[in-house]
Structure 1
Amino acid sequence: MKQVELLAPAKNLETGMAAINYGADAIYIGAPKFGARSAASNTLEDIGELIKYAHKYWAKVFITMNTILYDNELKEAEELIHQLYKLGADALIVQDMGILEMNLPPIELHASTQTHNYDLERIKFLEQVGFKRIILARELSLDQIKEIRKNTSVELEYFIHGALCVSLSGQCYFSHAIGGRSANRGECSQACRMKYDLVDGEGKVIAKDKHLLSLKDLNLSGHMKELVESGICSLKIEGRLKDSSYLKNVTSYYRKELDDVFEKKKEFRKASSGTVKPNFEPDLEKTFNRGFTNYFFSGRIPEIANFHTPKSLGKEIGKIVAVRNDHFIIDTKFEIHNGDGLCFFNRNKLLKGIQVNGVKGKLIFPNEMNMLVAGAVLYRNNDHEFAKTLKKDNSTRRISTELLLEFKENILTLIATDEDGISASVQLKEEFELARNTEMAITNFKTQLSKSGDSIYSIHTIETNFTEAPFVQAKVLNELRRKVLDSLTENRVAAFQQPKTQALISHPKYHTKNLNYMGNVVNCKAEDFYHKCGVEKIEKGFELQSDYKGKTLMTTKHCLRHEFGMCNKEFSTDKKANQPLYLVDNKNRYKLEFHCQRCEMKIIFE
């Protein structure tokens, strides 16, 4: 059977444990330094705790060290990698090729999506280098994934949910150019979420003050079967800055979707142990989202961006029918509660938010009445009752276990065997009295032993093996059960430890002898790596340069010609479709270049 992994993000220990509790097969979490989310770093102590917790379920913990490194950081990064290895980290997610030239422990290496894993040629190169897994670009379609799978044997990981970077990952220099905050250093200022004007070569404004680069959020929940069949081994949820409530909802939703696929396709199975039955109905629209898109998974589609707002819309719930002095009337099939946060677009297409202070049937009394418009579509971006439910819910992921109680020659033996076939046993020898009623004694044994308490186990069946039952006090049975389950956990963790082998890093020939700044080389070890791969000339990375004029700040599949009906390939033969276009903010003007053969748009610093 093929294992398929549900991979969830973790901002910290709390969110990591929540993701595991609600069904993740693996977690990715930031190291103390050098992760692509500088606001989501963690102590070694917390990482160690998360690893211990995850391994009980045979879930894995991957550490993100996927920034580019400066020369003065190489030694510290190498020491940190060794510390993470000693903690039991299952893999390291990296971007900087300089790491490959370090004295590494035998830890599994994953090529971050930041290594620009878009072209088959690049992916085959990284496979030959020695990466165990490659995290594919979000822009890839299902057909492209299948083609990559057909031509490679390396493990493939792919994003299925969450925020989208509008630029090809690892190829965005916008944030650094305008504010000195490098996306490749984990400090992205999200320039793509800002407002811009779209202007043509004659100065005509095509769009004014719009979030022209702000993509909707990815949602491939309707494509789980296709993804599983495509050969992807790990399905990844984005969100290392999200809270526990978000992780509970989104992880449990995708856990159910995947399990439904596995139920029908027996050749696939989940990659860790245990099941969880949350006390709520997961709903992706009820937690943070900017509206959803499947991006390029099924080919290019319209409206992958939301030009009006980069904020969360939540779930569409109905329309405003009429507006009165202190309330409005809503047409909805959903129940509205005090404390709900609602939003809508006003006549100027600006997103406005209100809070519900009172509800009387279809009459909604908000905290303010400004800008309310009859006919406006309403969204609920804060479902107050759902949020309370998520916060209170502490569902526990349980591993199904069978118990066998044996009694022979005054020795009481309790054997536990879990769903993975791992066993443990404990014995108690003493002079037991025999129970007067064997049948009643067995009933009492099963009642007492079935109470697994706050352990990670659920007792599925209890069998007994004796003809005469001993008399055993409840507290003795409880202690036997506690000991055997503790021993089972130790055996599970021991069985999960895979033999570590040193990654065989090689230096295959790179496809070009000249590497420009988009190679993201900012340290001497990365230079050494590419030189060994046959590269002769290496331009310094963007972060080491001072003159950005004429340089590409972003390469994206999101195309503004296409979005505004000016695509040469699909919409227009008008010569005006070929005239220059520019993005303009309150400080700069950026030229747009369109590479129609690759269906890409570039943003150039002027």
Structure 2
Amino acid sequence: AVYIGAPKFGARAAAGVSLEDIATLTREAHEVGARVYVALNTILTDEQLPEAVSLAWDLYGAGADALIIQDMGLLMEKLPPIPLHASTQCHNDSNAKLRTLESLGIEQVVLPREVSTADLPSLLDGVGMRVESFVHGALCVSYSGRCFISEACRGRSANRGACAQYCRMSYDLEDATGRKLLTGQHLLSLRDLNRTEIIEEMLDRGVSSLKIEGRLKDIDYVRNVTAHYRRVVDEIIARRSDEYCRSSWGETELTFTPRPEQTFSRRFTAYNTPLHTPIPMESITPFTNKSVGEELGTLTECRGREVALRLRDMETELSNGDGLLLVSPDETRTAGALVNQVTPQGDGTYRLRLSASVDMSPGATVFRNLNHRLDRLLRRDDASSRKVLISMECEATEQGIILRAAVTEAPSIAVEVQREMALEPAEKDPSARLLDTLSKLGDTPYRVEQPELRLRGLYLPPSVVTELRRELVERLREACRRVMVVERDRRGERLREQRRDFLSRDHSREECGLPESLDFTYNVANRQAERLCRRLGVEGEIAPAMEVAMPEGSVPVMQTRHCLLHRLGYCTREGKRPPFALPLYLVRGQERFRITTDCRACRMTLWLDR
């Protein structure tokens, strides 16, 4: 499947896509059996809700296969029969919540990034709906759907697609007396997610959809990373075809070898530590919030624009135009430049002339954050091509010509075209020419290996066969699109009826995993969302979302698994008493965030004191 932002109300406001482009995408995706999931996953005010409902109908008409939503107020509205997916922004962190979402007719739930494979058995116990999990891309340091720092400080809500990226900013870390412990570091900037090594374990523990974060990324990243995980999953399917199969059709040919570290990456983490236990201290990249790329080797000499380095891997090739990042051994200083000239010195040593002067001591680690040669290759239209294998049959009778075609991986999708015309006996065998004509499928998404001919000694005019082949392929494309839409409507109607049935009855909050009262962190932003919470058994106060009304007093603006006390080496679970005064503060200019820790839950909270 492909997921993409709606024109409005997506969690990446800058990544909205027009209805026309979404309609084009769905047509092309459906021709190869792939689905398109559209993100409509912000919280909505009472004024915005009618527009969001209207947009949902437009997206349904454009052929979208599902809507990814955050605001549960939509469930109380009259929506089209389109499957709904619960965004990770819903903070799907408990078994009771997942069971409730399933009862509400949610087809697929996107798990929080902070959940590990060890947490899956208890989280998914008794859950029958499809489960999606992120496997690659940028990591939010905050618990999913629970980041309010951008809204509280700048009026730019992460829950409304306008995050100001506070977790990627640099900070000073001070103790309670104002003493600086760290200066100018990206102390909340997590490494990028890469779960290559645990994909099979995730599948075995109930995950059925693997999600690659890619909105606002360029084509080189999308093509490279998607191809990498396609190979990983295909290898698992090849070994275990009795258990797993692909959910769409076709095979992709590549002109490159996918390597995720060679396009945008902030170094990698599997982020697979069980909840309520400390994550590794090296989970952040404190020296930069930008792409680090692949590690090349060690700086051996630095003279301004002239540097020398020794490669880790002797097979690595450098080229003019590569981008380098140099990081000091203590990871406190960085420098970067493009490569203008490469001179091999032998034994894995290179002398490079750079585009700008750098000041870095020998011993620094050298990363390549732009692979110029690979980047050019990935941007070519033919870097990857996907084709669906079809069968084709050409039959000649005295009454005319019949062409038939079917999708090999979905044989029930079959079409035929006919042309009534008188055919004459062939003077010589036309098979070779006809096979060539029938196999010319050009830029269509299909390929045929060996069309079957039943000529009965008759002559078929090549021009007529060409016309029929074009008509046949167009009918096949339309048949594929029709099958996908009919299947979507069938699923959507069933799920909508399930939701109506569940909402026709009142439920207890204990059953639904909800507390007696809801504070602002539950993101209730409209009356319909409040109505749903009441239907689910909440009887106490329901506070409005921060975007509707700012809470008074000190506000918890971010909760994270990443803990700065642990980062400094003073985790209280290890009984180490810190030699500085608590609480700690993250400071950036005039902004100051107090830090508290819940060591039993292994959670850090940032507070905005006002």
Aligned mates of 1:242, 1:575 — CA distance in 2: 41
**Structure 1 letter corresponding to 2:562:** H
Taking the aligned partners of 1:548 and 1:565, their CA distance within structure 2 comes to 34
2:380 counterpart of 1:392: yes
- In structure 2, the residue matched to 1:13 is none
Deviation at 1:325, TM superposition (A): 6.3
Gapped runs of 5+ residues in structure 1?
Answer: 1-25
Matched, 1:559 2:558: no
Choose the corresponding residue for 1:153, options 128, 131, 140: 128
- 1:351 Cα offset (Å): 2.3
Give per-residue Cα distances to partners, 1:303-351, cap 9 Å, x unaligned: 1111111110111112222234652222223221111111112477222
Match of 1:375 in 2: 363
Taking the aligned partners of 2:581 and 2:210, their CA distance within structure 1 comes to: 39
Following TM superposition, by how much is the alpha carbon of 1:574 offset from its aligned partner in structure 2, in angstroms? 2.6
423-432 vs 183-192, which deviates more?
423-432
| Structure 2 equivalent of residue 336 of structure 1 | 318
1:350 aligns with 2:349: no
Q: Indicate which of 342, 347, 357 corresponds to 1:359.
A: 342
Matches within 5 A, 1:506-545: 506-507=502-503, 508-510=507-509, 511-536=514-539, 537-545=541-549
- The match for 1:319 is 298
1:437-458 residue CA offsets vs partner (Å, 9 max, x unmatched)? 33xx222222222222111111
CA distance, structure 1, for counterparts of residue 287 and residue 303 of structure 2: 27
**Cα 1:46–1:326, aligned 2, differ >3 Å: closer, same or farther?**
closer
State the alpha-carbon separation in 2 of the partners of residues 29 and 324 from structure 1. Answer: 47
1:426 aligns with 2:420: no
- Other-structure match for 1:51: 26
CA distance in 1, matches of 2:547, 2:152: 9
- Asked whether 1:231 is paired with 2:196, we answer no
Any unmatched runs of 5+ in structure 2? 345-349
Map Cα deviations across residues 504-561 of structure 1 (whole Å, 9 max, x no partner). 3335432322100011112111111112222231112112234553211011111112
Distance in 2 (CA, whole Å) between partners of 1:245 and 1:589 is 38
- Supply the distance in 2 between the matched residues of 1:580 and 1:528 (Cα, whole angstroms): 40
* C-alpha distance in structure 1 between counterparts of 2:65 and 2:131, whole Å: 16
Partner of 2:280: 301
- Partner Cα separation in structure 2 for residue 548 and residue 584 of structure 1: 22
**In 1, Cα distance between the equivalents of 2:73 and 2:581?**
42
- Which residue does 2:72 correspond to in 1? 97
8 Å CA contact retained: 2:520, 2:551: no
The residue type paired with residue 549 of structure 1 is: G
Contact 1:289–1:313 (Cα < 8 Å) also in 2: yes
- Distance (whole Å) between structure 1 residues aligned to residue 51 and residue 240 of structure 2: 46
TM-score w.r.t. the length of structure 1 is 0.91
Does 1:271 find its partner at 2:247?
yes
What is the CA deviation profile of residues 216-268 of structure 1, one whole-angstrom value per residue up to 9, with x for unaligned ones? 00000122211221111111011211122221111111111111110011111
Seen in structure 2, the aligned counterparts of structure 1 residues 118 and 465 have a Cα distance that, compared at 3 Å, is same
In 2 relative to 1, CA 325–598 (structure 1 residues): closer, same or farther, beyond 3 Å?
closer
Query: In the aligned structure 2, how far is the partner of 1:560 from the partner of 1:323?
Result: 34
8 Å CA contact 1:450, 1:459 repeated in 2: yes
- Counterparts of 1:74 and 1:577, CA distance in 2: 49
**Partner residue, 2:594:** 591
Q: Which moved more, 1:583-592 or 1:304-313?
A: 583-592
Whether 2:440 is the aligned partner of 1:451: answer yes
Distance change (3 Å), C-alpha of 1:475 and 1:214: same
Question: Any idea what SS the aligned residue of 1:364 has?
Answer: strand
Which moved further from structure 2: 393-402 or 230-239?
A: 393-402
| AA matched with 1:384 | H
Give the deviation of 1:294 after TM superposition. Answer: 0.6
**Cα root mean square deviation, aligned:** 1.9
Determine the C-alpha separation between the residues in 1 that align with 2:402 and 2:100: 56
TM-score when normalising by structure 2: 0.91
1:135 CA displacement: 0.8
Separation in structure 1 between the aligned mates of residue 519 and residue 245 of structure 2, nearest angstrom:
43
Q: Match for 2:341: what amino acid? A: G
Query: What residue number does 1:139 align with?
Result: 114
Amino acid at match of 2:592: R
Letter of the structure 2 residue corresponding to residue 340 of structure 1:
D
8 Å CA contact retained: 1:356, 1:364 = yes
User: Does 374-383 or 339-348 show the bigger shift?
Assistant: 339-348
Q: Distance in 1 between matches of 2:149 and 2:212?
A: 25
Q: Report if aligned partners of 1:346, 1:371 keep a CA contact under 8 Å in 2.
A: no
Q: In the aligned structure 1, how far is the partner of 2:426 from the partner of 2:281?
A: 75
Answer yes or no: is 1:243 the counterpart of 2:231: no
Q: Distance in 1 between matches of 2:97 and 2:564?
A: 27
C-alpha contact (below 8 Å) 2:93/2:123 kept by paired residues: no
Instruction: Report SS of the residue matched to 1:396.
Output: strand
Deviation at 1:297, TM superposition (A): 5.0
Q: Secondary structure at the match of 1:591?
A: strand
Rounded Cα–Cα distance in structure 1 between residues aligned with 2:206 and 2:220: 30
Aligned AA (1:222): E
Secondary structure of the corresponding residue to residue 460 of structure 1: coil
1:485 corresponding residue in structure 2: 473
Name whichever of 259-268 and 313-322 sits farther off.
Answer: 313-322
Aligned mates of 1:260, 1:603 — CA distance in 2? 43
Task: Indicate the residue corresponding to 2:347 in structure 1.
Answer: none
Indicate conservation of the 8 Å contact 1:308/1:350, yes or no: yes
Q: Distance in 1 between matches of 2:508 and 2:181?
A: 46
Q: Who is 1:85 aligned against?
A: 60
